[in-house]
Structure 1
């Protein structure tokens, strides 16, 4: 079948689905959650593998979803992940499959993930200094992450993307260092402006390092030339002159790209979110467990996207933080 576009009232067509597989994480990053962690979702509330697969199938077959990114929490904590990936890759309208991870357990499973059909991986890494990594994440796991990056590259999960969130007074001094590390190893570096999605509600705009400052710091080390933007891709990219290396900056706050957004998000407990900052959700899990057929699930999905707003309006008078933190929404 040829699905009609999943379109909102502003004409944006949605082809990218983010699927959170768990809200749990094996790190306790200071900008994300408290040291003791959070109240995790009980297992019966989580979507089963069959339910995840059915929703991905409906998305690809009936709604025109072309890419699926698996997120968390930490998605590598999901039991049987390679098997679930293999089932997604075997769908008649199989999407491009990618995964965002903290990289702690990646070295162990990278070959299996690639063999199951995963195409690409993004690894979160905010510092190259072991003491600072332990301070930021409350875990001494930097060597494991570095091994994971190398294993992903060796397994063919390329380009391996490295995501860093600079925070003023924390790690903004490492912007050139992180970029140089990625260039040297053949990874694709991306810097992301911090957003008000922490569980503690402690985000302060003053501590966010804006895109312009990130670029200023990069130009201290590199000569950069702009790369034409690809469709609705969130990252503005620059090529390091004289090399094939590309560095991206995602200016979610200062230069929002909401006008071209093509994403929808599915939480680990089956709630569909039409925006990262949505304050309402559509309960697809309840539909599945009540025996709804595919057309009914499709209709609920389309209704959710039809109600999507124009943008997040961070800093505006009408901005409201979502009730869930990033770890429970999925990146």
Structure 2
């Protein structure tokens, strides 16, 4: 029997689910939330433990075998270990990962690994404590670094550090992050800033910094590097410098769009399916969790409407977007 394949009108196969388990976060990162914060969803609006597991199970029947838990900050959920264990027990899930700000990892890294989590992505935009407090609006860098060490000790299959590169904020630290890979078995991923959920979509250009700059630094330092293949089919282009334990990757949704190979679907913490991160279009799946046929029809409906690309790089003052951008901020989608 051939495996189920979810495809859209552009023949892209979707086998990867990014599921937000909460919109709440212990930080207020400048690129993720507005300065005055957000009104979080009441608890009853969030998917329950069993609803989350049922959601993943339904998607597995539609061909998904890779799942990433996101937020907000997923480790703020008191039932996160139960969620991880429940998803891990679904035989169709071959890869279970999580994106976290790392603040709770010193306590939870080993329990997460024991519950069945395979991989971790940890957000870390700077090594400077003062700058970290500014970027996160109050975070403790030492707490995150301790969490990274705990995650390394827990022996996850893979650990990635997500660095959102922002002009004038942390772009001067690219060299430091590259150096970090010489002694640490992690993958540092440099991510271009994306204009999600902004009232002024033009404003993103002030913060944008192309990540190709890392190659200039390698040349200046005379660090030789080579392209490498890594597990999965995500958007990063990955490299490793000679003599380094770790690796670095580039994710550039603006300068080098990866929409043509997009294989992911996103479900928000309140149960809405977003086939594309950027656009407003979304479908509430929560009412259909116990009726698989209706669930499948709604997913197919979303895929039928999935656009060819996100158009984030358009000159918005001179070009008209084909659709309306999402009202949600990044923390409400799950990235």
TM-score (norm 2): 0.92
Deviation at 1:258, TM superposition (A): 0.4
- Paired residues of 2:184 and 2:245 also in contact (CA < 8 A): no
Counterpart of 1:298 in structure 2 is 296
- Structure 2 gap segments, 5+ residues each: none
Tell me the distance in 2 between the aligned counterparts of 1:199 and 1:109. Answer: 33
Alignment of 1:137-286 (within 5 A): 137-197=136-196, 201=200, 203-221=203-221, 222-228=223-229, 232-286=233-287
The answer to whether residue 328 in structure 2 is matched with residue 329 in structure 1 is no
Cα deviation per residue 1:60-94 (whole Å; 9 max; x = unaligned)? 1x211010000000010111111111111111323
Cα deviation per residue 1:7-29 (whole Å; 9 max; x = unaligned)? 10111000100000101111111
Tell me the distance in 1 between the aligned counterparts of 2:80 and 2:231. Answer: 30
Relative distance call for 1:264 and 1:231 in structure 2 (3 A) is same
Cα deviation per residue 1:295-315 (whole Å; 9 max; x = unaligned)? 211121122112211111113
Q: How many positions carry a matched residue from both structures?
A: 327
What is the root-mean-square deviation in Å for CA atoms of aligned residues? 1.9
Cα deviation per residue 1:119-159 (whole Å; 9 max; x = unaligned)? 00000000001111111112141001001101111111132
Tell me the distance in 2 between the aligned counterparts of 1:42 and 1:199. Answer: 23
Relative distance call for 1:295 and 1:70 in structure 2 (3 A) is same
TM-score (norm 1): 0.93
The answer to whether residue 123 in structure 2 is matched with residue 124 in structure 1 is yes
Counterpart of 2:312 in structure 1 is 314
Tell me the distance in 2 between the aligned counterparts of 1:4 and 1:118. Answer: 24
- Paired residues of 2:182 and 2:246 also in contact (CA < 8 A): yes
Tell me the distance in 2 between the aligned counterparts of 1:70 and 1:140. Answer: 21
Deviation at 1:229, TM superposition (A): 7.5
Tell me the distance in 2 between the aligned counterparts of 1:255 and 1:111. Answer: 37
Tell me the distance in 2 between the aligned counterparts of 1:241 and 1:136. Answer: 32
Relative distance call for 1:231 and 1:142 in structure 2 (3 A) is closer
Tell me the distance in 2 between the aligned counterparts of 1:286 and 1:76. Answer: 26
